[in-house]
Structures are given as C-alpha cells and as structure tokens.
Structure 1
C-alpha cells in the first residue's frame, strides 16, 4: 500500500530546481508507518508487567502492585461490648449527672469498628486496644470476605495495642514488621484501613515526623511515627506500610479539631508491636514493660550549657525512687540521659519506648552526662517491684464507704496508677458506688480520716468504723491536698 501528499514550493525558492508554485510529490510506504507505531506503543509503561515500584518514577505511575500485595493482610474488626447505662435521661447532662449516680442501670450493647493487621499465617493479628479492649464479641473480616471470631491474647491500654488470635485460622496472608530505626522522614507510605466503615481504603503520604512523644491522648503513653497519609475514624489498628510492603507502624490516632483528617496522623512503631507479639507468644496476658523508677524533663537550649552539653537534648533526672534500677546503677539526680543502647532519647516517653523494645530481663547501655563528662552505664531492666505487699482491701456492706477499694502503695502501685514517685501510704484503687458520690477518685492518696493519720488500708477501714455522724477525709491528689466532708 502506498500513499502520497503534495507540498507546494516557495515561490521565491528556485535553487532546489523546483519550479515556483509547482507541487512536490513524495511517496511513502504505509506498512512502515504502522510497524513503527506498533513498536512505540509496546514500549509504553501501560503494557509493562505489573510489579512493586522500585524507583520514584515508577511509584508515580501506580501503587497497584503494592496494594495488591498488602491489602489481603489488613482486616476489618467489628466488636460488641455490654455496658451498664442509667435509664435517667438527665445522665447525659454534665450538670445533672452527679445527682443521679445511684440511678438504676440497664445493659446496653455498644458496637464499634476498626482495623487490624495479620502478622502470622496462623492468625495472630495486631490492633488498637481502644478497638477491641473490653469487647465481649470480636468478629474479624478479611479482604476476601472470610470471617473469623477472635479473642484477645494480650492488651495494654497505655500503649493502645492488642494482640488477637483468630479461631481455627491457617494459611492466612500476613505482613512483615520493619525495624523502626530504619524508618526515615520523607519516606513514601500507604495507610490501609476501614475509615468510617465504608470498606477497606488505601491512602498515600509520607513519613512526616519521628519520635512524636507529645501527641498522646486519653491514657496513651505517646511515642509515634507521624504521617500525612489521611487517617480517619475506623483506620485505627490498620497498617502503615513502606514501599516494600512491610509494616512500619499501626495507625492509632489523628490530631484534629474537627474529628476528620487534617494531614497529621500517628502510628505506633513496629518495634513495639514486635515486643507485644513476643510477650503474647510467651503466654503473657498483660504487657510487662521495664520500670525506670525516675522522673525527668527534656533538656532545652537554656539548660544545655548548664549541664555541659554542646546541643540541647536528653533527659535530666529530677527524681528517683529508692529502689529504681537507675539508682542501683549509680545514677544521681541531675544526671542527663542522652541515649539508650546507642539511640538518642529526648523525652521520658522515648526512653520508656527504648526500654520496652529491649525487654524485661535484659540490660540496656545507658549513656549519661555528669558534670560535662559522658560515660555509658549498664542498667538492668526490671518490672516495678510489688513489695511491700499491696494488701488490697475492699470495704464491705457494713462499712461506711461500701465498695471502696484500697491498696498499700509500693513501686508497682505507683507505676499502675501513675502516682508521684515519693507517694506513700494508702491509695484509692476504685472508689466504688458510694465513695464516688462524696468525691473520691481513683489515685487519691488517703492521708487522714477525721483527726487520725492513716498509712494502711486497715487504718482507713478502722477509722471509718469509729467515725461520727460527719466524716472528714484528707486526700493527696497529684500535688494538691483536698478535704472531703460528708454525712453518714
């Protein structure tokens, strides 16, 4: 097949032997044109084999291979929990609530949803504690619509992590955990979860920050990876993955005034998840983290010169419990901790994270600065001692404050209730239905009943039995002393 087209010469151009205004005829072979076009199309990326992107250019083309690899191991979690709700409609009003504390209660079923990540082929799943904690029924739905019931093996409200076991599960897709210290700011990441219950959703972004320890809310002890990948309610417990499909974190919360994603989301680092899985495999149902037994604050620019530091950073020790492992290792108030196991720490939460990852029973190499001199000291990682015995006591039906739960203060109790390191005596573990109405709270340290000093749960019980018509309690709440007066 042949074709031709005409080109008319320039009237002023006669040097090429063309007659001015005469048409120039050019012939060509259409088969050559079609062959060249087909060859060009075959070289375009749309015809290339799909695979995980390996360069920035390829990433810009598509996340499809990566999503296909990761999404089967991210699950939707549906939970039910039964709560006791008061029937009085005024209970919803903050002002009237205190007047109806003893109102009749009725069971209420609360439904919630979240996400999780399968870590092993036999059904070990990680999610957030706030998704599955206290749930009476947990249902896990895979991307291919298979459903499993699940039970909690280990949960921790402070870290907001929970490890689940799917019942009768095998040969499941799973994702690997990536060491947290390899993650760098600027890396491309995908967040996978079930936001708002609309179904599995993937959003993209970058790692926008590391070691975010001031972003916690509720009871969480914050140490997070920050990302701008959109995270919304329902994403909790889902995966934050890198470009190789490995989990770098578990999505847990967002920073927002409106309740929607504003581009600042937080994920729990994979190293802490690995520590949870190891303790669950060992049979623990409560996460045991090492106890530092000290208080401290971040060294800022104004303090750095005072402590002989070239740059601001680290934690200056402001207080230590007498049985703290740091005190046993020779640390003193005023020492600055700058690293744990060779990794810099700048906040107490960051130090607790490093110790938790190292694990109980091990020894961490802690770098300190004292009077301008730096050295490294081994510190044994131990649990908070539960000595002397806590002598847990619950007041009975014949007592003035029925249901009040008390305990003797020791390091374990200080750690559990987040008390001051120098706290002594007896503490309220649970005020119960009566004492809560007179103003007692969990964590209150009872110092005096009427004119009687008390130092044990038994002292409190006896003093209340001997009280008159009016009772006066003096409690230490944080750094304040509070007096509560009520009539029997």
Structure 2
C-alpha cells in the first residue's frame, strides 16, 4: 500500500510525464510528411543541361604509322548531348548546388522550379572529383531555399526524405532513414569522397537532389546509388551538407574551381594486420607512409610511421575521410590533429594550406631547333598536380605534345622519365638530351599507372 502511495505522489509531482495534448492539425493525426514536403519541395529544382560532345577519335589517331592512313576514316560530326538532373536552391539570390556529372562542360543550363518558373544558369564553381557544382540563377530574387545542417550532427537511424526528378517523371519524394555514415570506400568514375548512406530510394535523375531531415534542413546532395540493375536497391549516397557549405563559400569568394587544403602526405588505412605491427590496441586511423618536405603536417612535427587518428576531434579511418575533414574546414584554418607515435597518443596543431607552387614549374616550349617543336613541358609540383587532378607524381609533365610529339604517340599528361639512357628531372633536361640524341631513341613515359616506351629515329 505504501509503494502504491509513493508511485501516485511521484506521478502527481511530475505532470509533464502524464500530460496529454490534443493534436493540433490533420497532419499530426495522420503522421504525414506532407507539411514538410510542402515547405521543402519548392527549393528543389529540375536541371536540363546541354553539352557538345566531340567527335569520336579514331583508334589509330596516335599511331605513328597507321594514323596517316586512317586520318579521314570514320570521322563523325560533334553531337549535342542532353542531361537531366536535380538541384537545390541554397539562397534567396539563386545560388543552386547540383552534381558535376549533371552539368559538367555544359554549354546551356536551364533550371525549372517546382512552380514551373524557368531560369538560365551559369556555373560559378565546379569540381569533378567531389562531383559538386555551384550555379547562379540569372535574374533570381526572393527564391525559396533550404538551410544547411552540420553533417556531424546527423546520426544513423534518422528519418530522411529524398527529393528529385527520377527518370524525368517529375518531382518525386521518397522516404527512408540514414543507414550509414563515413562511407568513403565508394568509387564511381572520378568520384572519390566521403558520403552519407540512405535507404531512401534514389534513381537516375535524382542526382543533385536534396536529402533532408524531418525539420526540412539539407543534410546531403544525392549523388549515386549502388546497383547492378540501374535502379535503386536501397543503398544511395549523398554528399554531406558541410562540404556543400564550403563550396558555396568559395564560389561567393570568386573561385571557379574548388581549392582543397593540401596534406602533402601519402597514407593508408590501418587494418587489423597493420594495427598489430604498429602496436595499436585496435584498427583505425591513417598511417603516414610518405611525407613531403613542404607538408603542413611535417611542419607540425608529424613523421613517417605516425598514425593520424582524428582531425578536429572527428575520427578518420581512410585518406578520403581525412581529406574530407580538412576540406570542410578550408584553407587557412588551424586544426587539432590527434595521432599515435610508437603506441603513445599525441596532438599537434596544423595550419591548412593550399598546394604550394614549389619547386618552380620551369615551363618550357621547345622551339624550331628541337626535334619536337611545340612540345610544352613543366616540372611537376603540388599546385600543378592539383590543377591537373593528379594524386601523385614527380618529374616533367607534357602539357602539350605539339604536332611532332603527337606523331610519335606523346599525349598531354604523360610524365617523361628518360630520353634514351638519360634520366629526366627538369624540362631543360629534355631539351638538352634531345639535342644530343642520334640513331634510334626511346622516350620512357609514365602514362597513368603504365610505363610506355615511345621509339623514334633521329
């Protein structure tokens, strides 16, 4: 009897626990997403992009012998290619975010709002690697837009809605949950990054559309699906809103391409086998395998063999995840880096920098006196690698092979390593060794991950 009395008093002293409330709307009675969609949908747009695709190259175009015979064979006219995708308005003056693969290299971009208004758009900033692009609607004002949510506050299990234009059928909403975070192993085409995973159905045409939470805030930009059939299998990926915010900031600052902070390190994820050899209690982090002299991590005291565990308090378990953490902070930020050295935890403060333009590029164009007139070369450095989208590499790169270089098979992007038996370190070395060449000569070239020998006679 006494226990019952105590429970009764406890309930009377905590009226909030027993409080009942009458539903205030029909939506609350039916548990509908309709009010949320009604507010968010006007900020999600359809994007129609048109690009001119170059004529298909002959497979013999770079062959020094057959190229002459097949020069005019199978030539086709450039053709117009149309693409359809989605986008999200982020400001009242018409800033729109979409995927690079929706608008990349487009010559004409048309944006259609939910209320059927149409605007022409121009690209302010784009980045193929992140698969993001920032657009500006021409003549736009007082536009509906979505607020961005800090991606680090998103949790697995949250309700999420995907809004876009799948298969071009018109604006469509699908629901699901956030089914995973820190997905950084995905690689689709040139897309490398860090993603939010959702089971909200995403299909072709949803690219660039919104993934929102139950408060109508943007948590990600839908970008790809994991599928074997071409349709949604319940595993979709969205680019986090925190990275989108950094893109918008750089676009408003006048950048036309995304500038990532430069780490100056090569590293790999620490798995179970590697963690044992490093003396770690559990797998995790990124172990530094190479460290460039100008790296800000080297300046902060880190060394080869150290294991980077966290950036600004957020754990990092892959190189892509570490670059993401740096990218959302931006160039000039000073971040705390937790790392492990010889089994002991340590911390450093690292100032994030742009890729340095050092050593000097020493760009050189060979003249008439050279074997390959018009061949344009430069010395690779971090800034040039970033501009060309190269992850690594040292030496002399071909910026333009010129007519004579193209005839023996040289291509833009080739890295020259040797002329005959002479090694190459700087552009001037190429000019000097070519002047001394005689008889049959071979150019040793690194093309992607392949080593190629291009032979010619002087």
Question: Could you state the TM-score of these two structures normalised by the residue count of structure 1?
Answer: 0.81
2:323 is aligned with 1:352? yes
Q: Aligned-pair distance for 1:456?
A: 2.5
Does the CA-based 8 Å contact 2:193-2:324 persist in structure 1? no
Select 2:83's aligned residue among 112, 122, 125: 112
Paired position in structure 2 for 1:7: none
Paired position in structure 1 for 2:258: 287
Paired position in structure 2 for 1:408: 379
2:43 is aligned with 1:73? yes
Paired position in structure 2 for 1:8: none
What runs of 5+ residues in structure 2 fail to find an aligned partner? 1-20
Q: Distance in 1 between matches of 2:159 and 2:368?
A: 60
Q: Aligned-pair distance for 1:130?
A: 1.3
Does the CA-based 8 Å contact 2:55-2:79 persist in structure 1? yes
Alignment of 1:72-471 (within 5 A): 72-86=42-56, 104=75, 106-393=77-364, 404-417=375-388, 423-429=393-399, 431=401, 435=405, 438-461=408-431, 463-464=433-434, 467=437, 470-471=440-441
Does the CA-based 8 Å contact 1:367-1:376 persist in structure 2? yes
Does the CA-based 8 Å contact 1:102-1:433 persist in structure 2? no
Closer/same/farther in 2, CA of residues 420 and 169 from structure 1, 3 Å limit:
closer
Q: Aligned-pair distance for 1:467?
A: 4.8
Q: Distance in 1 between matches of 2:202 and 2:67?
A: 34
**Counterpart of 2:278 in 1: which secondary structure?**
coil
Q: Aligned-pair distance for 1:405?
A: 4.2
Q: Distance in 2 between matches of 1:100 and 1:203?
A: 51
Q: Which has the higher contact order (CA 8 A, sep 6+)?
A: 2
What runs of 5+ residues in structure 1 fail to find an aligned partner? 1-42
Residue by residue over 1:181-227, the C-alpha shift from the partner in whole angstroms, topping out at 9 and shown as x without a partner, is 11111111111111121111111111111111111222222211111
Paired position in structure 1 for 2:3: none
Q: Which runs of 4+ in 1 moved over 6 A?
A: 87-91, 96-99, 396-399
Stretch deviating more after TM superposition (164-173 or 78-87): 78-87
Stretch deviating more after TM superposition (100-109 or 161-170): 100-109
Q: Aligned-pair distance for 1:97?
A: 11
Paired position in structure 2 for 1:23: none
Closer/same/farther in 2, CA of residues 269 and 405 from structure 1, 3 Å limit:
farther
What is the root-mean-square deviation of aligned Cα atoms in Å?
A: 3.0
Instruction: Give the total of aligned pairs.
Output: 433
Question: Could you state the TM-score of these two structures normalised by the residue count of structure 2?
Answer: 0.86
Q: Aligned-pair distance for 1:407?
A: 1.7
Q: Aligned-pair distance for 1:99?
A: 8.5
Q: Distance in 1 between matches of 2:224 and 2:302?
A: 36
Closer/same/farther in 2, CA of residues 464 and 272 from structure 1, 3 Å limit:
same
Choose 1 or 2 for highest CA Rg: 1
Closer/same/farther in 2, CA of residues 300 and 270 from structure 1, 3 Å limit:
same
Q: Distance in 2 between matches of 1:396 and 1:118?
A: 51
